[in-house]
């Protein structure tokens, strides 16, 4: 489909999806602010052609709209979910090739990340420039199986970075390498093809190769080349690859960094040393502005897709789910047969592994993708003293500031434990009083007739 990031950008420009900024602009705060403004005002991709102090271009808000993920997969937005579910179960393994454009420049002497890459500084109190689209690839030190995910990376020095390695599988790999007292070899990818980028954050069980998922979703195998200084393979057409090692049993403050949740976080996090950088000629730096909407596609949509089928087949009465705010809010549409179904389904969803903190169950006459409908159901079908449950001490999301967090060394490695409480709201109709809760309606026939009348008067509906 699209072999690389720059090919997708060319296509998006042809589709009029891109706002081009040709005036000189700084990677320090300015590009990030521009991405946010453009994302908020019209949702376009932002392409910066003249970067202060750097060659090459910067692109942002690439997957800030679901329709662009659909374009990346070669389908209409309406067919995105169905196509995703179909292709997701048909992975295509990556293939190893001799060489590729990522090796056009290979540098290991006098490295200085910030001189070589226009890394953005995003928010006012961020400690340093950060990679926000950095896909970290590593291998399980025990099995050799590859894993990957996006992790925030603080550029702390010419070759030194701090990484928030909290989610599996990378967090588990580090735990295992630390038990062996060895460094963990990593490659940091910046600027890969859009489906590969999206696939890196899919909620996949450990041991599943996300590059295979990417191949399946795009319909063609991802070409990989061997790294130069470590035992890893990386996409041959990536814009940049940084090769390095996470140092064992070393932790340093990393942050503050303005996160996807809208808050600054500082953690005690691992440190890595970069020993080699490869990049294409005239590289494009892929940026992501946290808390500007792109996470709705990357996190909410992908997690929703990954969990939906399993939950629908294992939770009786569940019809559909919609995830919001990084999965912290889940709306569940149910086919209510018993009075207790609303709360029963909430309890089952609490235990499903998504860091959902608020779950709302609604009936089938509520459109769970329409916030107005959802608020209407809560306002009129929910009584707090009867329809609410609260649970405590459940694992939560590390970047939710309202959680309780502590560092633990119980497993032999340094792990961040996050605990939250959860609330469930049953906003379904009581079965013994359905008439009173009938939603007012306009018949489809009248609606169709009136649409035709309005269209005659020149009103486009």
How far is CA 11 from its chain centroid?
22
Alpha helix locations (H) across 228-301?
294-295
CB of 345 closer than 8 Å to CB of 360:
no
- Is 120:129 a contact under the CB 8 Å cutoff? yes
- Nearest approach in angstroms of CB 256 to ligand FMN is 13
Among 73, 99, 74, 90, CA closest to 223: 99
| Residue 387 C-beta: closest distance to ligand FMN, Å | 31
Closest distance of CB 329 from ligand FMN, Å? 17
152 binds ligand FMN (CB under 6 A): yes
Contact, 243 vs 187, CB < 8 A? yes
Q: Look up residue 134 and give its two tokens.
A: 């950095």
The mark string for 286-305 relative to ligand FMN (x by CB under 6 A, - otherwise) is --x------x--xx------
Query: How far is the C-alpha of 421 from the C-alpha of 397, rounded, in Å?
Result: 11
The CB-of-368 to ligand FMN minimum distance in angstroms stands at 22
Task: Note whether 405 binds ligand FMN by CB under 6 A.
Answer: no
Binding of ligand FMN at residue 169 (CB under 6 A)? yes
Least gap, CB of 51 to ligand FMN (angstroms):
22
Mind spelling out the 3-state secondary structure of 102-167?
HHHEEECCCCCHHHHCCCCECCCCCCCCEECCCEEEEECCCCCCEEEEECCEEECCCCEEEECCCC
Choosing from 43, 168, 219, 430, the residue that interacts with ligand FMN (CB under 6 A) is 168
Residue 150 within binding range of ligand FMN, rule CB under 6 A = yes
Among 199, 218, 260, 330, which residue interacts with ligand FMN (rule: CB under 6 A)? 260
Under the binding rule (CB under 6 A), the answer on residue 149 touching ligand FMN is yes
Phi-psi category of 282—alpha, beta or left, where left has phi over 0 and alpha has psi -120 to 50? left
- Stretch of 165-173, 338-346, 412-420, 424-432 lying at the interface with ligand FMN (CB under 6 A): 165-173
Element (H, E) at 198: helix 194-199
Residue 224 interacts with ligand FMN (CB under 6 A): yes or no = no
For the bound state, the minimum distance from the C-beta of residue 296 to ligand FMN, rounded and expressed in Å, comes to 10
Of 62 and 225, which has the nearer Cβ to ligand FMN?
62
Nearest residue (beta carbon) to ligand FMN: 149
Where on the chain is the footprint of ligand FMN (CB under 6 A)?
A: 149-152, 164-169, 201, 203-204, 260, 288, 295, 298-299
């Amino acid at each position: 489909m699209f072999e690389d990031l720059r090919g997708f950008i060319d296509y998006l420009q042809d589709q009029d999806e891109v706002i081009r900024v040709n005036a000189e602009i700084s990677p320090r705060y300015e590009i990030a602010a521009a991405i946010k403004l453009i994302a908020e005002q019209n949702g376009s991709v932002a392409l910066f052609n003249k970067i202060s102090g750097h060659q090459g271009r910067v692109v942002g808000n690439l997957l800030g709209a679901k329709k662009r993920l659909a374009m990346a997969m070669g389908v209409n937005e309406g067919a995105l979910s169905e196509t995703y579910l179909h292709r997701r179960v048909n992975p295509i393994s990556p293939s190893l090739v001799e060489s590729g454009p990522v090796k056009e420049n290979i540098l290991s002497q006098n490295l200085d990340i910030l001189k070589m890459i226009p890394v953005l500084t995003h928010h006012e109190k961020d400690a340093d420039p950060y990679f926000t689209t950095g896909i970290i690839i590593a291998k399980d030190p025990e099995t050799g199986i590859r894993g990957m995910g996006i992790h925030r990376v603080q550029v702390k020095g010419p070759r030194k970075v701090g990484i928030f390695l909290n989610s599996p599988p990378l967090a588990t790999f580090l735990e295992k390498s630390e038990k062996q007292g060895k460094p963990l070899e990593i490659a940091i990818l910046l600027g890969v093809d859009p489906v590969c980028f999206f696939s890196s954050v899919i909620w996949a069980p450990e041991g599943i190769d996300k590059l295979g998922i990417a191949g399946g979703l795009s319909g063609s195998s991802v070409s990989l080349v061997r790294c130069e200084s470590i035992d890893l393979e990386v996409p041959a057409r990536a814009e940049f690859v940084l090769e390095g090692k996470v140092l064992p049993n070393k932790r340093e403050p990393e942050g503050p960094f303005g996160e996807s949740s809208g808050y600054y976080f500082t953690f005690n996090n691992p440190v890595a040393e970069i020993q080699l950088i490869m990049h294409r000629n005239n590289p494009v730096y892929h940026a992501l502005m946290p808390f500007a909407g792109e996470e709705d596609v990357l996190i909410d949509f992908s997690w929703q897709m990954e969990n939906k089928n399993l939950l629908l087949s294992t939770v009786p009465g569940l019809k559909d789910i919609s995830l919001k705010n990084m999965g912290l809010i889940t709306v569940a549409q149910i086919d209510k047969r018993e009075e207790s179904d609303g709360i029963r389904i909430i309890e089952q969803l609490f235990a499903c592994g998504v860091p959902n903190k608020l779950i709302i169950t609604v009936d089938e006459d509520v459109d769970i993708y329409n916030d107005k409908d959802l608020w209407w159901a809560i306002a009129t079908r929910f009584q707090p003293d009867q329809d609410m449950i609260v649970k405590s001490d459940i694992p939560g999301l590390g970047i939710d500031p309202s959680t309780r967090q502590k560092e633990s060394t119980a497993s032999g490695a340094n792990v961040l434990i996050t605990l939250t409480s959860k609330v469930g709201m049953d906003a379904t109709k009581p079965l013994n009083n359905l008439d009173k809760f009938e939603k007012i309606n306009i018949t489809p026939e009248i609606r169709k007739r009136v649409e035709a009348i309005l269209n005659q008067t020149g009103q486009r509906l």
